[in-house]
Structure formats: C-alpha cells, structure tokens
Amino acid sequence: MGYSKITKIVLWVLMVIGVAVGVWGFIADFNDASVDGLLRWGYVMVIAGIAIAVLMGLVIAIVNNPKSLVKMLIALVGCAVVVGVAYALASGDPLVGYIGTQPDAGTLKMTDTILNLAYIACGGAILAIVVGACVSAIRGSK
C-alpha cells in the first residue's frame, strides 16, 4: 500500500471521528462532559497536526538537503528566544476587577506570556507587510 493511500485512509478516519465528536457535541447537552470532550478532541487534533507538520518537515528537509537542518535549528532557537522574551515580559499580576477565585500565579504568568506572543506575532505581521510593500516598491521602480 502506497504512502498516499495510507494518508487518505488516516485523513478519512480523522474526519469521521471529528464529525462524530462534533455531532455529539451539538446533540449532547452543554454540560461539562460534552464540552470537555470537544475541547480534548480539539487539543488532540491541534497537537497531532503540529507534531505531524514538524516531523514531516524535518524528515523531508533532512532527506532533501541535510544542510537545511542548521537553518531549522537556528529558526527553532529564534522561536525559543522570542518565547523566552515574552515569558520574561509577562507580569503575572492578579486580575483586577475579577470576582471569584483568582487563578494561581503560574496560570497568570502563562496567559500573560500567550498574550505577549500574540502581540509580538501581530507586530511581526504588520512589520512584514510594511517591509514587503517597501521592498516590492523599490524593486518595481528600477
């Protein structure tokens, strides 16, 4: 059985399971069990997708061009530095105006880190758009 045949079968099985879980989520009452099931399935799908993308990219890069592994390691270190900076900038201060049990300090620090990463990603996207437009304008004027 070829690689594409196995991929098709796995994708169909995942789609059937995803549709079944989605239908169950709409049919079931909105209690904790059904919501937790939907969230867990979402986590599984996201983690599996990221793992497959990273592993397949790594394998393909190593097979096609072993020197590209160095570039990937540099990119990975760069991502780790960005996450480290976002974590260092995260305050983890208690929520102001929140009525209820305050989350623990680790949760607050993690949510602040994720917010900082979102801000950095948004700023990077805007910077890429502006730089790309400037570069294409300069190249187009020659």
Residues 71 and 141 in one domain: yes
Q: Please state the φ and ψ torsions of residue 104, each to the nearest 5 degrees.
A: -70, 170
- Of 30, 64, 98, which closes a domain? 64
Query: Would you give the distance in Å from CA 117 to the centre of its chain?
Result: 11
Query: What domain count does the chain have?
Result: 2
Residues 6 and 29 in one domain: yes
Closest CA to 111 of 98, 127, 128, 126: 98
Q: What is the pLDDT of residue 7?
A: 76
Per-residue pLDDT tens over the stretch 24-76: 777 877 666 777 777 888 888 888 888 887 888 778 878 888 887 888 889 88
pTM (2 d.p.): 0.59
Residues 21 and 34 in one domain: yes
Q: What is the pLDDT of residue 112?
A: 93
Q: What is the mean pLDDT of the chain?
A: 85
Tell me the residue range of the domain where 117 lies.
67-142
Residues 53 and 122 in one domain: no
